Amino acid sequence: MVDLAETGTKPATNTSRSGAASAFYGMSRQATVAIAVPAFGLLFWEIAVGAGWFSGRLMQPPSRVSATLWGLLRSGELLDHIGITTVRVFLGFVLGTTTATLTGALTGYFGLVRRLIDPSLQALRSIPSIAWVPLFILWFGIFEASKVALIAVGVFFPVYLGVSGAILSIDRKIVEVGRIFRLSGFALVRRVMMPAIFPAYVLALRSGLGLGWMFVVAAEFMGASEGLGYLLVDGQQLGKPDQIMAAIITFAVIGKLTDSLLIAATAPFLTWQDCYRREG
């Protein structure tokens, strides 16, 4: 048998453990850096209210907001509102993403379709989100259909622009290389064009998801009795700034979590990328 000490070869288990420990250390360091900024902001907020720099009545300190969050969580009310809002965003995201992907692929790939419908879509993109509310109430009533439709509108435009723009920006040389290898039709789309646009598509999905969380607030203003948007309206009507801040912080946390889930879900499809990443 070969003596590992004599050959200078380290056991594979030690190497794998070292790699795992290094990865864990890197993740811990990133998490610490990510938490440091909001933690410092919350600390400054608490000190500023305690020192009287801000009005504690209208700008409740983090300790008071945390107590409100804990009370809502303990009663189960917060989880119910989070669940309702998350379902609405999910349904609107799926609907908006599906229609935007198909429409963006058509306008990006076919010049005639782009000339026919892209100008109208660009005009509709300029309409403020709140302007759709009375129209959707007339069409769908004040129930879930109008809320999901409004969220889908918010998701649609960034995803549509991302897909259409990514197809139009594909390097012509890449397509020519595919044709040299006698790829055409669906094979060219699947093996050349789809990998080329996927990084931009993921970025468009993240933008659409962020707008979905923004539009859900306007959607839940439409006669909602449940959801985080309802907590905002209820806090405003009853003069509860701590409840308003608690709802805003919950929006931020849930939005970040869903964005991280989207990144994790799409990461395996982007392992082929050889791009520059700034570390540290």
Distance in angstroms (rounded) separating the CA atoms of residues 238 and 220? 17
pLDDT at 89: 95
pLDDT at 57: 72
pLDDT at 272: 75
pLDDT at 172: 81
pLDDT tens-place values along the chain, 280 residues long: 444 444 444 454 555 455 556 555 656 676 677 778 778 877 888 787 777 777 767 777 888 888 888 998 999 889 999 999 999 999 999 999 999 999 999 998 898 999 999 999 999 998 887 888 888 888 888 888 889 999 999 999 999 999 999 998 888 887 777 777 777 777 777 777 888 888 999 999 999 999 999 999 888 877 777 888 888 888 888 888 888 889 999 999 999 999 999 999 988 888 777 665 544 4
pLDDT at 22: 59
Q: What is the pTM of this model?
A: 0.80
pLDDT at 5: 46
pLDDT at 138: 86
Chain segment 240-252, per-residue pLDDT in tens: 888 888 999 999 9
| Residue 212 burial (C-beta neighbours within 10 Å; 0-12, 13-18, 19+) | buried
Q: Decide: 154 and 212 in contact? Cβ < 8 Å.
A: yes
Chain segment 121-138, per-residue pLDDT in tens: 999 998 887 888 888 888
pLDDT at 211: 93
CA nearest to 85, candidates 188, 191, 228? 228
Distance in angstroms (rounded) separating the CA atoms of residues 155 and 84? 18
pLDDT at 102: 95
pLDDT at 88: 94
Distance in angstroms (rounded) separating the CA atoms of residues 137 and 221? 11
Q: Decide: 155 and 96 in contact? Cβ < 8 Å.
A: yes
